[in-house]
Structure 1
């Protein structure tokens, strides 16, 4: 276990705060506002669990790298000369300097800019300048970080002993991801958005559609009935619900014909790697996340023979949601910066042979989620301002917010284990 991940004694008041949480209600304010709780979240959640950080196309060629900041940690993800994707702590073994300060790039070898200690992409120290005759370079390779590549999605775990359940989760989600062949895509666009709120507020906002009338662009492809239970459906939405039932039946038949799984799997609490995955129909033309529902990229992923394959959607604790469509994929990674700041990285992927300007237009491809992300940024800002008020007290969740409750329950379970460690 990493040093930070094991020091739950740094947070003596956390145990009482965790125990005070009332199920079915929002978290107490300090969970969103206290810098000490932010540090505990990094130590107890982000340094102990599998974290989604990148996609395989971001390191498509040998020497390509990205760096990821997780609290005080910085990690290099690089593809080596043998095409293996590896992860290393971004810390020189000489005097600890940050080796690669850039967010991404391409290298032959990994060279520290301070004293030019040089490492191969597979972490071996190649050169250390002037050293005594008995200096053993083999003892000073880069420190590894555990990495898993799941059908083109790259996860890291900073802990020496990662949660074992991830090995059980992978074979359940991989059949949903694999048909889209993300390893044969390329990055069409990537946007980093710093949201002025706690990372848990960002995840909670994503886990409910109670507020979805604030996303007019998104509702062009989402059914207006999304978030309603059939028994609670307003009469005015019955035609849309009937349309959804037919679209859902058509989608299930299309998936069955192509051997693509579509059923809902939902295990959001209990296990360390809680997740929710399924394939769902889209409204409008039913092809993609665009204002008319038509495909945004004419070169379909994986040589699909039809654009009407709905959206394969996945949410995974603690920091990822994504949508894989017939024509493109969009992933979202959430990383904490401070108690009231969170990085949301959105990445759009298209077929590796798709040609910009011919097969797709970047503005059209990214339009819906750029607008939706900005709207969510505003909602998160309002939430952070509200929970920071002395007048705030945790309110009750509605039935449609059950996934928010599941997220908070998962978080409390993990933090309870942390304070007991």
Structure 2
């Protein structure tokens, strides 16, 4: 049965034309969704949360990924742990979804009790021969990369995450993400396939027509344009913008803030891109007027003119600015439903109403996420239509979508599909 499914999916992979969107079945079919969950959300590194989700010993957060449930927690020694949310007795869930505070992990079924390190400390009526040391909670492979928590559910995680870790450890150090706090968090269910969610985020071809709030501070030309379709005035403006990028990247780097683009998008296992982007307008932050939302800057930052340290992976996107950060995590729910969990981070000592206004802090990305949810739903409805034929990507504005589709096909084939 598995071989037949793999063969069926393989024919869809073979049908994808270079430079074009994916065949409909790769977005809509249940068997493809299950394969995606196995390949991309079990065998690859995925971002699931933040150290500051669990700031104090005893803080715990449950994260569900398909049928897998994880507990992200901080133990009694202040160390981050990630364990499976599965009791070693008869499999009961230990904690309910969401965040909580615990002194120990106690199974509600038969009161098997685990230390925050995962060690089984109490299992009543199991007899003298029972070995508690053999029944600790199952740990999960994870890395904290400057406060971003990545997990891999496979036994042998991809090793090429090392390049992401090296790049972001240096680039995120001044923001001190572990010592930030979550000022606001939203969960939005997009009615579309997770790949449509990621594709939508990887291009700004649609931005000027759909994201008026974001375009105050975000420059859509940063992700490609066709110079032949621009007026002479717009072409000159685009040239000036590219020249400004070269100047800013050199200056930022000279000042000790690495900024040039680093890409690992094809011929790899761990997919990511990072670059320091120019913020338009007032140039400080992604807010309604492009000025900083918080007067207390992140970490050791002393400047508001360092742009947007952008990072994306295959299930996340992030924007780190002097005053605050946006972290978005994508978790598939079904072939046509995707959770987008967005967190707004500020300095741990920043006080709402004193250092920042919550409406100003969240306005741009609340609006952008809602707008994107509508676009993804429209896209999914279109790929379900019998009239759908995969169209060509723009060679100027959608090159990263072409790379994502190529990477997706390659990784599926690498895992036997």
- Larger CA deviation: 28-37 vs 227-236: 227-236
Judged with a 3 Å threshold, the aligned counterparts in structure 2 of structure 1 residues 146 and 359 are, in CA distance, closer, same or farther, namely: same
Structure 1 residue 258: Cα displacement: 3.0
Give distance in 1, aligned partners of 2:3 and 2:66.
Answer: 16
2:358 corresponds to 1:362: yes
Structure 1 residue 249: Cα displacement: 5.6
TM-score of the aligned structures, taking structure 1 as reference length:
0.94
Out of 192, 196, 202, the position equivalent to 2:197 is 202
2:142 corresponds to 1:147: yes
> Cα RMSD between the aligned structures?
1.8
Partner of 1:269: 266
Out of 312, 334, 339, the position equivalent to 2:335 is 339
Structure 1 residue 104: Cα displacement: 1.1
2:223 corresponds to 1:222: no
* Counterpart mapping for 1:98-247 below 5 A: 98-213=93-208, 214-223=210-219, 225-229=221-225, 231-232=227-228, 233-238=230-235, 240-241=237-238, 244-245=241-242
Give distance in 1, aligned partners of 2:108 and 2:78.
Answer: 25
Consecutive unaligned residues in structure 1, runs of 5 or more: 1-6
Query: Per-residue CA shift, 1:184-233, capped at 9, x if unaligned?
Result: 21111111111000000000000111111210000000235343448344
Judged with a 3 Å threshold, the aligned counterparts in structure 2 of structure 1 residues 344 and 353 are, in CA distance, closer, same or farther, namely: same
Give distance in 2, aligned partners of 1:243 and 1:158.
Answer: 46
Structure 1 residue 240: Cα displacement: 4.7
Contact kept, 8 Å, 2:111 with 2:123, in 1: the verdict is yes
Partner SS for 1:419:
coil
Consecutive unaligned residues in structure 2, runs of 5 or more: none
Partner SS for 2:342:
strand
Give distance in 1, aligned partners of 2:223 and 2:11.
Answer: 34
Give distance in 1, aligned partners of 2:3 and 2:375.
Answer: 32
Structure 1 residue 242: Cα displacement: 6.3
Give distance in 1, aligned partners of 2:232 and 2:50.
Answer: 43
Out of 408, 413, 417, the position equivalent to 1:416 is 413
2:360 corresponds to 1:373: no
Structure 1 residue 179: Cα displacement: 1.9
Partner of 1:4: none
Contact kept, 8 Å, 1:223 with 1:240, in 2: the verdict is no
Query: Per-residue CA shift, 1:290-349, capped at 9, x if unaligned?
Result: 121100111011232221110000111x20110000100101111100000000010110
Structure 1 residue 67: Cα displacement: 1.0
Give distance in 2, aligned partners of 1:417 and 1:239.
Answer: 45
Contact kept, 8 Å, 2:63 with 2:97, in 1: the verdict is no
Partner SS for 2:44:
coil
* Counterpart mapping for 1:399-414 below 5 A: 399=395, 400-414=397-411
Give distance in 2, aligned partners of 1:231 and 1:174.
Answer: 36
